[in-house]
Amino acid sequence: MCIMYRIWFFLLVIFLPGCSTPNSSEEGKEREMAFKNHIKKITEFKTILNLGGIWLKEQVHREKFFDKNGFKFKEITHYDDGSIENIISLQYDKNGNLIFRKAVNPDSSVSYSDKRVFDEHNNKIEYYFYNPDSTLLYRKPAVYDKEGKMIESRMYHDGEWKATYKYKYQDARMTENNIYDSTGNFKHKWLYVYDNRNNLIEEVQYNSQNYISYQNKYEYTKDNFLIKETNYVGEEVQRSFSYKYNGKNLMEIKNEYVYGRLNSKFRYEYDYY
């Protein structure tokens, strides 16, 4: 996999969902989980069902390393054959905000890096994503109201203003995200629905003709643990995940289905302090 492909895949998986979903505290939830359970390392294993219907050998897919305060300081991603893809290091400010991340290839060359800037209220007001040669590829500044809710952000790519995101809330919950191009033309919007326990249960993207482009739906246990996620293109199910937890309420198994067919199995192991 070439470097530029990895960069664009990273943007697709990380940034575009980040523009749609109001769940911005996953990092904090992971930190709390690691600290509460004295977790030193999480190893994710992946088993793939190939096109011939044969399960391939289980391989290490991802490794996460935490300090005693629950801060993730290193992550190692692996290709499907188990070989190392990226080694990612993370840095935090004195308030515990993640401010810098750098991914290097096994030969120590840089794969990508990113930087976050926070204001005095710990609101992330700038995000920068860099190419391997340290040139800026992607920038996303944000504006907050006096209550600390992000009300607008913009996306700049290669120095050009590409999109504006405007957010609406009901109390503290984001309910709508409207996206416009740099000339102010409406592109699409995301609407969000929650249950009575404040769990996000549905997010739907409507295009400029008010047709559904994408949907994500979520199901939880009575203890608010995610047990199912379903992704749609239009009205058609494209992909889904099911989750199982151990006695400590730590994720144990994740199954991935593509068009209703079991495609990959993930298994998790934990090392403790």
Residues 16-48 pLDDT 10s: 444 445 655 788 899 999 999 999 999 999 999
**Which of the four pLDDT bands, split at 50, 70 and 90, describes residue 11?**
very low
CB atoms within 10 A of CB 146: 6
Q: Which residues contact 135 (CB under 8 A, 6 or more apart)?
A: none
3-class secondary-structure state, position 213: strand
DSSP classification of residue 49:
B
pTM above 0.75, yes or no: yes
202: part of which helix (H) or strand (E)? strand 200-207
CATH number where 182 lies: 2.40.160
Nearest alpha carbon to residue 262 among 249, 253, 251, 270: 253
3-class secondary-structure state, position 29: helix
End-to-end CA distance of the chain: 36
> How far apart, in whole angstroms, are the C-alpha atoms of residue 85 and residue 73?
17
Q: Which residue segment(s) compose the domain that 98 sits in?
A: 3-272
Say what the pLDDT of residue 23 is: 55
Say what the pLDDT of residue 8 is: 44
Number of domains in the chain: 1
Residues 82-132 pLDDT 10s: 999 999 999 999 999 999 999 999 999 999 999 999 999 999 999 999 999
CB atoms within 10 A of CB 252: 16
